[in-house]
Structure 1
Amino acid sequence: MFPTVRHALLLSAAILPVPAFAQDATAPQADAAPQAAPAEAAGPSRGDVIVVTARRRQETAQAVPLAISVIRGDSIEATGNFNVVKLQQLAPTLQVYTSNPRNTSVNIRGLGVPFGLTSDGFEQGVGIYVDDVYNARVAAATFDFLDVAQVEVLRGPQGSLYGKNTTAGAIAITTSQPTFDFEGGAELSVGNLDLRQGKAFVSGPLSETLAARVAVASTTRRGTLYNVTSQRWINEQDNLGLRAQVLWKPAGNLSVTLSGDYSRQDPECCGTVYVRTGATQRALSRQFDALAAALGYAPPSRNPYDRLSDLDGSLNATNRIGGASLRARWDVGGGTLTSISAWRFWDWKPENDRDFTGLSIVARSQNPSQQNQYSQELRWNHEGARIDYVVGLFGFHQRVDTQGTEQQGKDASRWSLSGAQANDPSILRGLTATNTQFLKSDSAALFGQVSLKLGDRLTLQPGARLNYDHKEGYYSRVVTNGQGQMISCTPAPPAGSVLAAQCGVYQPQQTSPSVSAWNFSYDMGINYKLARDVLLYANYAKSFKTVGINQNGLPLNADNTPNLAASTVAPESVNHYEIGLKTQFWNRRATFNLTGFRTEIGNFQATVNGGQFGTVRGYLANAEKVRSQGIEADFKVRPSDRFTAYVNGAYTDAKYVRFTNAPCPPELSGGTFVASNGSQQPGPAGVPGSLSPRQCDISGQALPGVSKWAFSYGAEVNQPAHVFGKDGQAYLGIDGNYRSSWNSNASPSRYTVVDGYALTNVRAGFRSASEGNQGFDLFGWVRNAFGVQYIDLLQVAPGNTGLIAGTPGDPRTYGLTIKTRF
């Protein structure tokens, strides 16, 4: 089935300030993008005018009643935000956390995807789109931007305008399009950590009706952690990307673009370092320090900023992603018919060290996966004097196949078992779980939106979407002991037996979940133009994230059989409220936008992680209710061509309103479970040997990954100069961001609080005056200029030993970049 994946280009909606220092505000020259600003916005005395097509027509960003940040391609390059993961430094309400490309969380306002191990069985709440093509797997977020013209971060639920529904927002990436005038460019960056980055493109006519564009980018950089076991730097960058496009314009009202792209990553990644330990309810003799002493082990450093690791397992994050799309636009009959057909693939070959130590506890861990997706969208839009409307059809098909292997090592018995069994390494050594799974997902939708202009100032904008989803999965886990013999854990083996010990780590199971669901969503917007440059708007959206299935194994019943009731996960029900004010003043040299929002989600799809090494890697469950609310403010000023500055800020209060059966944090885990009949009470948190609750009520606690306060800011000043025989500008720029503390565990823990930090980047250089389409830019840069030590992500090590591992953020980096156009 060919899906709709074509969404968000249109996403391109309103711009809150542009956190960048673009020299012009022209929109990307895609065939779906605007070519010029409305006449009233023109004039040399005015400030920047940014044109978007969020509602399927050309509008200035300030006229669009939606909350969106628009970031120009040159700004992305200048600030060093080379992929979506780094983009959060420019967009305060965007949160991106990654332990490897597959396990990447992309959230907006704290909502979007469950925090924890990724499962293929649920939808993303934040859609990632490249040239209107939906990328179903968030692994795309870790790739370098390639020939990007503009990125738009749209906040809040979408659905009545876009092919693939999203409940939290979307990231729409628009690449540069083929041109009928010949042009080209190249860029080279070198820096510390052996950074080598090259980019190049060429674009031009093949005939009077054909034009083509080819772009390539390559990045290599030494890792930021040193592995004393392998004596290699790890967590390196090794990226290559290619994109080619052909544009056919046989007539002025018809354009067809064929695009293809391929990207690959081959780093030795993704490792962690020791960060800290925290007391759990496990017996003291079985917590990290005691176990490490018994095995004669010590981490290479207890200071994470020494950047020393000793992981003994193989590390690999080989990643291949690419595809092709065909986009056609035909202006006919008073409207525009748009078709986007796309195919994409993803091939993921990871190897990890899941015990986070130099011990052989988990000797092998890998879950290679292959995905193919197909999408088709047809959309018709019409513009009139008093009414505009869009109606569309969409279809999507996805198949994901995964083959996993996890094996216990020689130290596993000592680490995971107690009593005499802890001294018998043969019990767990070689114990292997082999997983086979697939997912087939189909969806279809009918969507539309109408804009009713009730006079020159007031507009109503109702929209609706009818959506159907079908998911079908298969999961099989076969477990063999060290002698290669298959084991069975049903009926439950006798307590204290070797088999019981093995089943406490890996249990065989097989499930075939299948589920279908219809849902109807709708939205209503109203906006009023208080003055020429003052727009007040309010939006309400009733949205759904569709049903999910569990693809990584199920929790067990008392008799060790899978709990089939947990095979599927109920859809999320979203109620979203938003009010905003968009203003420009000082002859449009200054822009100030303000947004207030509140989003309530019933049956929030959350990730539940088991504390053991392999019983259940993680599965989906429904939290009764979550809520995110806050205020966002954006300000940009450009008093002259010599100076630009911006500051964006957000306050976000995101919490579990009600989650009564949540997984427990490490300080309430690891001990003997209390009796299921309620006759016992759990012991105090973090007291070794005390009783542990079976689940925890975390109602009222903050959602993971969300900083209450976040800011981004920057400025650039330039001065006319004559360098290398060329007239141009010498310039100095600074940009930075701040995030307050946040929690890095699905159930907030006192051990996984990531302290707030502020990062500052500086650049200085010379850009020549443009001669036609020619020129160059030479600048030096320092990122994290003050060498701030901060943590990107904390992870709770399995086994309830109290070990907390993490990934330090990039240290100070510096280098030189030269860019040229011809």
Structure 2
Amino acid sequence: MKAFVRLSLIASTALIAPVQAFAAEAAPAEQPAQDGGVSSRAASGDVIIVTARRRQETAQAVPLAISVIRGDSIEATGNFNVQKLQQLAPTLQVYSSNPRNTSVNIRGLGVPFGLTSDGFEQGVGIYIDDVYNSRVAAAVFDFLDVAQVEVLRGPQGTLYGKNTTAGAINITTNQPTFDFEARAEVSAGNLDYRQAKAAVSGPLTDKIAARLALATTSRRGIYFNTTTDRYINEQDNLGLRGQLLFKPNDDVSITLSGDYSKQNPEGVGTVFVRVGRTQRALNRQYDALVAAINVDRAARGVAPYAVPSRNPYDRLSDLDSSLNAGNKIGGASARVVWDTGSGTFTSVSAWRFWDWKPENDRDFTGLSIVSKSQNPSQQDQYSQEFRYNYSSDKFDFVAGLFGFKQRIDTQGTEQQGADASRWSLTGAQASQPAILQGLTASNTQYLKSTSAALFGQVAWHVTPELTIQPGVRLNYDKKSGFYQRVVTNGQGQVISCSPAPAAGSVLAAQCGVYQPQISAPSDSAWNFTYDFNVNYKIARDVLAYATYAKSFKTLGINQNGLPLNADNTVNYDAGTVKPESVHHFEVGLKTQFWDRRATFNLTAFRTEIKNFQATVNGGQFGTVRGYLANAEKVRSQGIEADFKVRPSDRFTAYANGAYTDAKYKKFTNAPCPPELSGGTLQPAGAPANYSQPGVPGALSPRQCDISGQGLPGVSKWAFSYGAEVNAPVELLSKEGQIYFGVDGNYRSKWNSNASPSIYTEVKGYALTNFRAGFRADDFDVFGWVRNAFDVDYIDLLQVAPGNTGLIAGQPGDQRTWGGTIKYSF
């Protein structure tokens, strides 16, 4: 707590110009306010209207940390989905090895970092037009006709339907209009980049309006696969949205929406990054295993194996398994808004689906170790929210009911290949490919999830300057799952590992790779949480606030197979994980000055979580996916600031930054990082010995105490900036502006493994983008360069299973360039 007080004092006195963000944007035409939030512009400066508290108000009047990014800013800077949005919002972190395995975190918190299990909740809620999207796959799709994105930091459970412990991303699309309007946009660039967007809106009758939007994106992959002789990790996106607005009178509006998006790229693949020594015997580590496989190949007259490049920035891969990231998402919703005179009643009914058809190469090599890995799933969710808003001079309040139901069905297959015996077995068995070749684990699983909540928040305006704002939430969650793994050998015969097979037998070798499992975890929980905010208007454009929130993230169940004990039996105790208990403190200052031409906001926060739900992986092939476990205590604290200035219509600039110190305060039984794994386990009950990391043949700790180490995926320092200058000109008989813009971002180093490893540290990097063009009232044409200085950087590193020391990764985009033309009428 003392550290938090120190942070608060620093935050209240420091005048650092960086964090979270308003992006530089072209001056849009003034738009009418709609339910869902739009922006308008005052003569002296920006007035940004948001619905963060489920009512329309200016962003500067909201006593919480919020970043607002307008649709034109998103388009101008090329940040076309949530993954790219983190370049504008420094405390937002998004990491993805494929659409399913995507982490969206704020301040280092939200979801466990690593391979994903469906059995836990998202700590960062993604809402599109008031509809909650339960799976983070929505983060990888293109924004479609977006008006505005609000990134809310900190717990939001007393305002939003689904509980959110770390924050929320509130996306508002453009709504149907009773005045005809249309817009079209096309972009083209290197890497065969093509993107087209179009939207049309207008009246069908005097009471019904419609809007239709379309977006499509394609781009050549950024890695070349020498095995298949083609590029992988391409973009192949299509999105559609249709909306009908029915206004029977001035008090009622009914909006029906339907959307559908799909991706069908070849991917998602990786490249070789490095090899790090583990405690496995030296002849069982990556380079020695490849050498042994090449001896076998030579005996068969087959060319030796070598990775196409050990420089990841050559972007060469040789993955030999099928790759696919087929991804379909969509749904329908009905939103009813009724102005009752004394308040506003809102009902949001929604159904959403997600079909996921992946194929991966889970050994990350061109060797046939894991020859097949795929876990397709089909997900359906239903949600209903009722909300009532009331505003008066003395009181404002929102009260809501939320119901949610979800079912996820998954059918998985993982199969061992011709090189698996040499890779995973020892002694004479290593030279017998038939022992593991064709060994197949087939799993069937489902998850049923139900939740219901009653939530509300009251704002009592004690004086015109002082407001006291308490909020409460009562939540019920129930989860039940089923998981069954059937294992067959190369002849298609079902194997059993109970009773334990004789040591050294073929069956024992097969059971050491895949074990049959069956489990049906189920649990439920009630939670009562609350928050309390006090805010004071020091002057007309100066607002100070302080918040305390007691929040939670509900229980989780391990849905993708359970880990094995030291004796190779299934650890059924790991079937469920406890709910997280969250204590959150925040103070902030929101200011505008220079006749509102300049905005400067400052926030200090501290979040403490008990029973933090972490994704862990012990490196076993037998664990099909990472599993969940509770870390005893986690803490995230930091300072955020954002600054924006718009001295005239000719120039605008912003600078944003964040310092985030997120760490495991206590995690005593974590899986060990690769440098402390792979050897014979240390004696049970003996104190763990960490003194021989990366020493082949050394004894490995059974678990590692990683207390005090940083959370994965979090940079301590993150900054973004941007500026745009323009001048009036007449071009092609059109009066308009020529303009030049620059934006960039920096992130300091971070670690890419749940238990931080010396081999998975990602170096910090800075990216810079430029754009220049001409725009008029209905026309905009510009050229752009992204990652203009062709900086080499890594998006994600992954530890290959088996403790062989192999580290694979995904380098980020190289320099890209192109042009965009937009036209509206």
- What TM-score, normalized to structure 1? 0.96
2:27 is aligned with 1:23? yes
Q: Which amino acid aligns with 2:808?
A: A
* Cα 1:586/1:16, change in 2 over 3 Å: farther
1:669 match: 677
- Closer, same or farther: CA 27–599 of 1 in aligned 2, 3 Å: farther
Task: Name the structure 2 match of 1:430.
Answer: 438
The code of the aligned residue for 1:410 comes to A
**Where does residue 253 of structure 2 map in the other structure?**
255
Assess if the C-alpha contact under 8 Å between 1:25 and 1:48 holds in 2.
Answer: no
Structure 1 counterpart of 2:236:
238
1:73 aligns with 2:71: yes
TM superposition shift of 1:614: 2.9
Partner of 1:816: 819
Q: Aligned in 2, Cα 1:698/1:342: closer, same or farther, shift over 3 Å? A: same
> Which of 632, 639, 646 is 1:631 aligned to?
639
**What SS does structure 2 have at the residue aligned with 1:295?**
helix
The aligned counterpart of 2:59 is 61
Counterpart of 1:196, as a letter, is R
Where 1:50 maps in the other structure, the secondary structure is strand
Distance 1:245 1:401 in 2: 30
Amino acid at match of 2:373: S
1:27 CA drift (Å): 6.7
Paired AA for residue 636 in structure 1: K
What amino acid is the match of 2:427? G
* Aligned twin of 1:474: 482
Contact 2:618 2:672 in 1 (8 A): no
Q: 1:681, 1:497 → 2: CA distance?
A: 32
Distance 1:722 1:680 in 2: 74
Q: Which amino acid aligns with 1:23?
A: A
Over 3 Å counting, the alpha-carbon distance change for 1:663 and 1:704 in structure 2 is same
2:513 to 492, 502, 505: 505
> How far 1:56 sits from its partner (Å)?
2.8
Report the Cα offset of residue 260 of structure 1: 0.2
Q: Decide whether the 8 Å contact of 2:20 with 2:658 is kept in 1.
A: no
Q: What RMSD, in angstroms, separates the aligned Cα atoms of the two structures?
A: 1.4
The structure-2 alpha-carbon separation of the partners of 1:633 and 1:427, relative to structure 1 and needing over 3 Å to count, comes to same
1:729 aligned onto 2:727: no
**Equivalent pair of 1:29/1:176 in contact (CA under 8 Å):** no
Aligned-partner residue type, residue 155 of structure 1: R
Contact 2:284 / 2:804 at 8 angstroms: preserved in 1? yes
2:492 alignment partner, SS class: coil
In structure 1, distance between residues paired with 2:695 and 2:559? 34
CA distance in 2, matches of 1:323, 1:355: 35
CA distance in 2, matches of 1:323, 1:451: 34
**Displacement of 1:677 after TM fit?**
4.0
SS in 1 for 2:152: strand
Q: Which amino acid aligns with 1:92?
A: P
- Rounded to whole Å, the distance in 2 between the matches of 1:231 and 1:577 is 53
Q: CA deviation at 1:292?
A: 1.1
Q: Is the 8 A contact 1:467 1:520 kept in 2?
A: yes
| Partner residue, 2:600 | 592
Where 2:46 maps in the other structure, the secondary structure is coil
Counterpart secondary structure, 1:433: strand
Using the alignment, how far apart are the partners of 1:686 and 1:561 within structure 2?
27
Amino acid paired to 2:445? Q
Residue in structure 2 matched with residue 391 of structure 1 by the alignment: 399
Secondary structure of the equivalent of 1:415? helix
Whether the 8 Å CA contact 1:628–1:655 is kept in 2: the answer is: yes
Between 55-64 and 724-733, report the one with greater CA deviation.
Answer: 55-64
Q: CA offset at residue 60 of structure 1?
A: 1.3
1:658 maps to which residue? 666
Partner Cα separation in structure 2 for residue 666 and residue 31 of structure 1 = 51
Q: Which of 780, 783, 802 pairs up with 1:780?
A: 783
Question: Which residue is 1:575 aligned to?
Answer: 583
8 Å contact kept, 1:504–1:615:
no
* Equivalent position to 1:494, from 494, 502, 514: 502
What corresponds to 1:707 in structure 2?
Answer: 715
In structure 1, what is the equivalent of residue 751 of structure 2?
743
**What letter is aligned with 1:819?**
K
1:320 aligns with 328
Give the deviation of 1:618 after TM superposition: 1.5
Instruction: Give 1:387-426 correspondences, 5 Å limit.
Output: 387-426=395-434
Q: Could you tell me how far 1:422 is from its partner in structure 2?
A: 0.6
SS at structure 2 position matched to 1:298 = coil
Q: Name 2:359's counterpart in structure 1.
A: 351
* Unaligned runs of at least 5 residues, structure 2: 1-18, 295-304
Is 1:181 matched up with 2:163?
A: no
SS in 1 for 2:47: coil
Question: Could you list the per-position Cα deviations for residues 597-656 of structure 1 after superposition, in whole angstroms to 9, with x for gaps in the alignment?
Answer: 000000000011121223342111100000000000100000000000000000000000
Cα displacement (A) at 1:680: 8.4
Q: CA deviation at 1:706?
A: 0.3
* 1:286 to 2:284 alignment: yes
Conservation of the 8 A alpha-carbon contact between 1:683 and 1:691:
no
Q: Judging changes above 3 Å, is the alpha-carbon distance between structure 1 residues 680 and 471 closer, same or farther for their aligned structure 2 residues?
A: closer
Amino acid at match of 2:584: H
Q: For residues 22 and 249 of structure 2, what CA distance do their matches in structure 1 show? A: 34
| Paired residue type of 1:140 | A
Q: Quote how far apart the aligned CAs of 1:22 are.
A: 3.7
- CA distances 1:459-480 after superposition (whole Å, capped 9, x unpaired): 0000000000000100000001
Deviation, structure 1 residue 554? 1.2
Measured in 2, the distance between the counterparts of 1:299 and 1:560 equals 33
Cα deviation digits, residues 293-314 of structure 1 (max 9, x gap): 2222211000001110000000
Output one character per residue of 1:40-99: Cα deviation in whole Å (capped at 9) or x when no partner: xx5x2x111111122233221111101010000000000000100000000000000000
1:790 corresponds to:
793
SS of the residue corresponding to residue 85 of structure 1 reads helix
Alpha-carbon separation, structure 2, partners of 1:52 and 1:89: 21
Q: 2:118: which partner in 1?
A: 120
- Distance in 1 between the 2:404 and 2:387 partners? 15
Counterpart-to-counterpart distance in 1, 2:601 and 2:553: 29
- What number of residue pairs does the alignment pair up? 797
> Secondary structure, in 3 states, of the residue corresponding to 2:722?
strand
Question: CA 1:621/1:124 → structure 2, altered by over 3 Å: closer, same or farther?
Answer: same
Within 2, Cα distance between the matches of 1:484 and 1:162? 50
Give the drift of 1:238: 0.3
Aligned with residue 775 of structure 2, among 767, 784, 793 = 767
Q: 1:442 is aligned with what amino acid?
A: T
Question: Are 2:724 and 1:720 equivalent residues in the alignment?
Answer: no
SS of 1:500's equivalent in the other structure is helix
- Which residue number corresponds to residue 4 of structure 1? none
- 2:226 alignment partner, one of 221, 225, 228: 228
1:252 and 1:794 mapped to 2: Cα distance?
54
Q: Does structure 2 retain, via aligned residues, the 8 Å contact 1:683–1:692? A: no
Structure 1 residues 483 and 172, CA gap change in structure 2 (3 angstroms): same
Partner Cα separation in structure 2 for residue 222 and residue 35 of structure 1: 35
The answer as to whether partners of 1:555 and 1:562 remain within 8 angstroms in 2 is yes
8 Å Cα contact 2:52-2:150 kept in structure 1: no
- State the match for 2:14 in structure 1: none
Contact 2:52 2:152 in 1 (8 A): no
Confirm or deny that 1:95 pairs with 2:93.
yes
**1:30 Cα deviation (Å)?**
3.4
Cα distance, 1:555 vs structure 2: 2.1
Moved more, 608-617 or 122-131: 608-617
Distance 1:620 1:16, change over 3 A: closer
What SS does the corresponding residue of 2:429 show, helix, strand or coil? Answer: helix
Quote the residue 1:199 is aligned against.
197
SS in 2 for 1:350: strand
Q: Which amino acid aligns with 2:190?
A: N
Q: What does 1:126-205 correspond to in 2, within 5 Å? A: 126-205=124-203
**How far, CA to CA, are the matches of 1:336 and 1:474 in structure 2?**
42
Listed one character per residue, the Cα deviations across residues 761-819 of structure 1 (whole Å, up to 9, x for unaligned) are 00000001x2xxxx110000000000001000000011111000000100000001000
The one-letter code sitting in structure 2 at the alignment partner of 1:188 is V
- Length-normalised TM-score, structure 2: 0.95
Q: Within 5 A, what are the aligned runs for 1:6-21? A: 17-21=21-25
Deviation at 1:29, TM superposition (A): 4.6
Match of 2:810 in 1: 807
Residue 561 of structure 1: how far off its partner (Å): 4.1
